[in-house]
């Protein structure tokens, strides 16, 4: 039936009965099978296997000869006839409760009808020679201590899943010719693994092979018949020096992961035989110098990651088919100090790209490819760390562009014309940028980061004011980070502060949202800030009252480098937000590398409406603003994670 390590182990044993092993409690029990009685009854807690002779009576017996039943005994299905329970006679153990009995592998070997084995920390001994359960479908030996799984060839005709992840002592794999039905092979983090049996390259049923972080693996066998393989994951196999030879069409292969390997050449067989690839990850392959052939036949390729392939030589201008489905392309150089960046002309860009990363490519004025203006689906463009001083106005033709990152372009003297669709603009550490123009025409712009260590930015105050007007009218969030004058050490304040304020009369109708101000001291942190708003019943208990900050008191200058806007409409779905009862509030602000936090109210200029949708690259996993809903709390919890463009 099923064997599960650490808790309960089910085994479909010999013809006389089934067994249940609980290694956590060091117990072993056996029960007779129920009579068929012309019916079937599904066994509980089984996977990919059913009890074709009825269910088990789950009464257990400890290894010391006793017939006392366990307190967590489960009852069999009422449809099944209850049978007698038979203890295993003469099986005793004096081992401590946390030590696996060394005789258990022999017990398992005798269970000829076992279908599922899951055994954490399997002992160092190989499986016994007589271990050949012909009905075994799944074998999971996670964090096992074996050097070799078994000697010679084992015939396991029904085995479909073999999971040996974390087996740190395993040095070689078994012969796979005896497991013709194997579909999933997982060898992740087998850090001593040095040899993969060559029979794997002839396996015709494998669907997924994952060998992440096998640090000693230098070679993968030639692939001759793996026609059903869909995923091959060799990420972080740092000593892997070459891609396996591919000698057959692999029409099912969709995912090929080779990140952080020592591969030097991608042979042309990938472009010829892997024509249905969708995801191809070669990121951080810092020894990769050459990709033979081209990818013009890879019509379904959607994601190609060449980030950190700093030694890669020129790709041909016809490397991609312009009509291919490629959506994400990263050619970013990691910009290691002392490394001479290889500069080459970019290939023709596929027209359906949605995200393009050309960071640190040593691009100067006029080096941006002319066909970039034809990428009408492009939403995200990274041009960080390049050497141009100005960008071509053709960028304004990218009508779907949502995010432009120009951070660390230290020669950039002015921002380019942007498309009307732009939502996020990042240009941090652009030291030659002295002025920011009028951005009020960009109605979708809600997040801007122009931070640098020194010197305020001319026009920053107009940027703040115009963005606030637009986003207040649209009733959506706003997050802005600007440079400011250097701080003196004495001006630093704690990153945590309580601000208590009295709300004006009819504040909910007269104002549209809260403004949060602070000074960003450094960029050592992640830009994360937590804001908790709680209602105060009376101000008498709060002698140290703060004053509301007037945002537009001086439109010719800005005093704070970090400003965020949260519309009241975004808080309506929180159970604790009751606008009629809030009169006095306390803001608890926890931030990283922030000084002088203050709170402001924004006068309403539009009718009350729902918070507008806005484009945020972080999406669910890493939102810029996240309203944490806790039905049990009476507080409003806001997480503000502006982030930094140089970390993208």
Q: What is the pLDDT of residue 34?
A: 28
213: left (phi over 0), alpha (psi -120 to 50) or beta: left
Does 20 map to a domain?
no
pLDDT band at 496 (very low <50, low <70, confident <90, very high): low
List the one residue out of 534, 514, 532, 516 whose CA is nearest residue 588.
Answer: 532
pLDDT value of residue 590: 84
- Interatomic CA distance for residues 164 and 645, integer angstroms: 40
Pull the structure tokens for residue 260. Answer: 């952080």
pLDDT at 612: 60
pLDDT digits (tens, 9 = 90+) for 502-526: 888 888 788 888 888 888 766 555 5
In a domain, 564, yes or no: yes
Assess whether pLDDT exceeds 50 at residue 85.
no
What's residue 489's pLDDT? 43
Task: Find, among 272, 279, 232, 278, the residue nearest to 249 by Cα.
Answer: 272
Give CA–CA dist 449/442, Å, rounded: 15
Domain membership of residue 391 (yes or no) is no
Split at pLDDT 50, 70, 90, the class of 607 is low
- Using 50, 70 and 90 to split pLDDT, how confident is the model at 10? very low
The pLDDT of residue 611: 59
173 pLDDT above the threshold of 90: yes
The pLDDT assigned to 5 comes to: 44
How far apart (Å, rounded) are the C-alpha atoms in residues 202 and 625? 51
Within its chain, how far is the Cα of 52 from the centroid?
Answer: 41
**Using CA atoms, how far apart are residues 91 and 390, in angstroms rounded to an integer?**
81
**Which residues lie below 8 Å from residue 244, measured CB to CB, with a gap of 6+?**
201, 219, 220, 221, 222, 223
Does residue 606 carry a pLDDT above 60? yes
Mean pLDDT of the region 558-576: 80
Domain annotation covers residue 310? no
Lowest mean pLDDT among 99-103, 385-389, 507-511, 644-648: 99-103
Q: What is the pLDDT of residue 36?
A: 32
| Per-residue pLDDT band at 61 (split at 50, 70, 90) | very low
With respect to residue 51, please indicate whether it lies within any of the assigned structural domains: no
Domain count, the chain: 1
406 within domain boundaries: no
Which pLDDT belongs to residue 583? 77
| Distance (Å) of CA 548 to CA 491, 504, 570, 578 | 21, 10, 21, 21
pLDDT at 359: 93
Angle at Cα 224 formed by Cα 221 and Cα 225, nearest 5°?
120
Model pLDDT for residues 338-361, shown as the tens digit of each residue: 455 656 778 889 989 999 999 998
Q: Which of 11-25, 46-60, 388-402, 585-599 has the highest mean pLDDT?
A: 388-402
Residue 632: domain span:
498-641
Whether the predicted pLDDT of 94 surpasses 80? no
Task: Scan for tokens 């606008």, then name that residue.
Answer: 579
Q: How far apart are CA 236 and CA 257, in angstroms?
A: 9
Looking at the domain assignment, is residue 158 inside a domain? no
Taking only the tens place, the pLDDT of each residue in 30-50 is 332 322 333 333 333 333 333
Q: Which residue has the higher pLDDT, 630 or 29?
A: 630
Q: How confident is the model at residue 92 (pLDDT cuts 50, 70, 90)?
A: very low
Please classify residue 578 by burial: count the beta carbons closer than 10 Å to its beta carbon, then call 0-12 exposed, 13-18 middle and 19+ buried: exposed
DSSP state of 11: E
Burial 53-91 (b: 16+ CB within 10 A, else e): bbbbbbbbbbbeeeeeebeeeeebbeebeebebbbeeee
Q: How far apart are CA 255 and CA 272, in angstroms?
A: 16
Average pLDDT over residues 548-561: 61
d(CA 329, CA 327): 7
Q: How confident is the model at residue 1 (pLDDT cuts 50, 70, 90)?
A: very low
pLDDT over threshold 60, residue 589: yes
Would you call 377 exposed, middle or buried from its count of C-beta atoms within 10 A (0-12, 13-18, 19+)?
middle
Note the pLDDT of residue 237.
Answer: 97
Q: Output the pLDDT for position 569.
A: 84
CA 50, 56, 62: angle at the middle one, nearest 5? 130
Least confident of 42-51, 580-589, 607-616: 42-51
Reading phi first (left if > 0) and then psi (alpha if -120 to 50, else beta), residue 38 is in: left
pLDDT, the chain, mean: 76
Contact partners, residue 576, CB within 8 Å, separation at least 6? 633, 634, 635, 636
Average pLDDT over residues 412-431: 91
Residue 102 in this model has a pLDDT that exceeds 60: no
Residues above pLDDT 70, as percent of the chain? 72
Q: How confident is the model at residue 155 (pLDDT cuts 50, 70, 90)?
A: very high
Up-side HSE of residue 359: CA atoms within 13 Å toward CB? Answer: 27
pLDDT at residue 335, rounded to an integer: 61
Report d(CA 101, CA 118) in Å as an integer: 16
Q: Average of pLDDT values for 141-168?
A: 92
Query: Residue 270: phi, psi to the nearest 5?
Result: -65, -45
β-partners of residue 424 are 403, 447
Average pLDDT on 62-79 reads 33
**Does the structure show a pLDDT above 50 at 327?**
yes
Residue that the structure tokens 């994952």 belong to: 210
Tell me the C-alpha to C-alpha distance, in Å, between residue 608 and each of 79, 437, 474, 476, 590. 61, 31, 10, 12, 30
Alpha helices in 15-165 (DSSP H): 104-109
Query: Would you say residue 493 has pLDDT above 60?
Result: no
The contacts of residue 321 (CB under 8 Å, 6+ apart) are: 295, 296, 297, 298, 299, 350
Confidence at residue 536, expressed as pLDDT on a 0 to 100 scale: 75
Q: Which long-range contacts (CB under 8 A, 24 or more apart) does 258-263 make?
A: 258/234, 258/282, 258/285, 259/235, 259/283, 259/284, 259/285, 259/305, 260/235, 260/236, 260/284, 260/285, 261/234, 261/235, 261/236, 261/237, 261/285, 262/238, 262/287, 263/287, 263/288
- Judge whether residue 619 has pLDDT over 60: no
pLDDT higher for 181 or 313? 181
Mean local confidence (pLDDT), 609-621: 62
Q: Do 41 and 79 form a contact (C-beta atoms < 8 A)?
A: yes
- In percent, the amount of the chain with pLDDT more than 90 equals 34
CB atoms inside a 10 Å sphere around CB 199: 16
**Could you tell me where the beta strands, DSSP code E, fall in 390-494?**
403-405, 424-426, 447-449, 478-481
What's the whole-model pTM score? Answer: 0.81
Q: Looking at the predicted structure, is the pLDDT value of residue 266 above 80? A: yes
- Mean local confidence (pLDDT), 281-287: 95
Confidence of residue 196 (pLDDT cuts 50, 70, 90): very high
CA distance 305 to 382: 14
The residue behind tokens 């104002």 is 511
Statement: residue 644 has pLDDT above 80:
no
Q: How confident is the model at residue 114 (pLDDT cuts 50, 70, 90)?
A: confident
Q: Do the domain assignments include residue 429?
A: no
Please give the backbone phi and psi of residue 461, each rounded to the nearest 5 degrees, phi first.
Answer: -65, -40
Q: What is the pLDDT of residue 216?
A: 97
pLDDT for residue 600 is more than 90: no
**Among 200-204, 365-369, 424-428, 525-529, the least confident range:** 525-529
Cα(522)–Cα(305) distance, integer angstroms: 31
Determine the average pLDDT of the residues in 398-416.
93
Residue 537's pLDDT band (cuts 50, 70, 90): low
Residue 265 has pLDDT above 90, yes or no: yes
Over range 577-603, report the average pLDDT. Answer: 79
Q: What's the token pair of residue 496?
A: 């945590």
């Amino acid at each position: 039936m099923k064997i599960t390590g650490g808790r309960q182990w089910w085994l479909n044993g010999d013809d006389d009965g089934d067994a249940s092993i609980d290694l956590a409690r060091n117990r072993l029990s056996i029960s007779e099978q129920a009579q068929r009685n012309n019916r079937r009854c599904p066994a509980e807690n089984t996977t990919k296997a059913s009890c074709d002779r009825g269910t088990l009576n789950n009464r257990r017996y400890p290894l010391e000869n006793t017939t006392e039943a366990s307190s967590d005994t489960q009852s069999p299905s009422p449809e099944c006839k209850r049978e007698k329970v038979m203890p295993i006679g003469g099986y005793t153990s004096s081992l401590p409760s946390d030590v696996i009995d060394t005789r258990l592998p022999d017990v398992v070997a005798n269970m000829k009808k076992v279908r599922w084995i899951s055994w954490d920390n399997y002992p160092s001994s190989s499986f016994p020679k007589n271990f050949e359960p012909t009905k075994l479908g799944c074998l999971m030996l996670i964090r096992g201590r074996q050097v070799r799984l078994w000697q010679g060839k084992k015939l396991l005709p029904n085995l479909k899943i073999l999971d040996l992840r974390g087996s740190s002592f395993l040095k070689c794999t078994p012969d796979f010719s005896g497991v013709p039905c194997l579909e999933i092979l997982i060898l992740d983090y087998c850090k001593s693994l040095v040899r993969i049996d060559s029979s794997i390259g002839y396996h015709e049923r494998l669907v997924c092979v994952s060998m992440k972080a096998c640090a000693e693996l230098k070679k993968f066998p030639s692939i001759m018949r793996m026609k059903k393989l869909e995923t091959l994951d060799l990420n972080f196999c740092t000593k892997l020096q070459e891609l396996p030879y591919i000698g057959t069409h692999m029409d099912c292969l969709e995912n090929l992961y080779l990140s952080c390997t020592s591969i030097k050449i991608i042979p042309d067989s990938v472009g010829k035989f892997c024509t249905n690839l969708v995801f191809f990850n070669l990121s951080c392959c810092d020894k990769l110098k050459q990709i033979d052939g081209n990818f013009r036949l890879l019509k379904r390729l959607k994601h190609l990651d060449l980030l950190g392939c700093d030694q890669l030589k020129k790709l041909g201008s016809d490397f991609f088919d312009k009509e291919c489905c490629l959506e994400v392309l990263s050619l970013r150089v990691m910009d290691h100090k002392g490394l001479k960046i290889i500069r080459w002309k970019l290939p023709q860009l596929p027209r359906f790209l949605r995200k393009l990363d050309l960071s640190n490519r040593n691009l100067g004025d006029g080096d941006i490819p002319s066909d970039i203006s034809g990428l009408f689906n492009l939403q995200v463009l990274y041009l960080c760390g390049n050497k141009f001083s100005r960008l071509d106005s053709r960028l304004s033709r990218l009508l779907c562009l949502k995010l432009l990152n120009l951070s660390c372009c230290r020669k950039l003297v002015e921002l380019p014309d942007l498309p009307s669709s732009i939502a996020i603009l990042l240009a941090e550490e652009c030291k030659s940028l002295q002025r920011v123009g009028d951005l009020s025409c960009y109605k979708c712009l809600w997040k801007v980061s122009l931070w640098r260590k020194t010197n305020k930015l001319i026009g920053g105050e107009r940027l703040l004011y115009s963005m606030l007007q637009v986003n207040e009218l649209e009733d959506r969030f706003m997050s802005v980070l600007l440079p400011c004058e250097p701080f003196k050490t004495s001006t630093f304040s704690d990153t945590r502060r309580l601000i208590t304020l009295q709300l004006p009369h009819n504040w909910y109708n007269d104002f549209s949202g809260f403004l949060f101000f602070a000074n960003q001291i450094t960029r050592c942190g992640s830009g994360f800030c937590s804001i908790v708003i709680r209602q105060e019943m009376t101000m008498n208990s709060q002698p140290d009252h703060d004053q509301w900050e007037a945002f537009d008191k001086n439109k010719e200058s800005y005093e704070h480098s970090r400003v965020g806007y949260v519309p009241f409409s975004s808080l309506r779905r929180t159970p604790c937000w009751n606008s009629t009862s809030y009169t006095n509030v306390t803001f608890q602000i926890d931030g990283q590398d922030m000084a002088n936090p203050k709170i402001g109210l924004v006068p309403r200029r539009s009718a009350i409406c729902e918070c507008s949708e806005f484009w945020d690259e972080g999406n669910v996993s890493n939102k810029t603003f996240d309203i944490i809903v806790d039905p049990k709390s009476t507080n409003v919890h806001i997480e503000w994670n502006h982030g930094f463009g140089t970390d993208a």
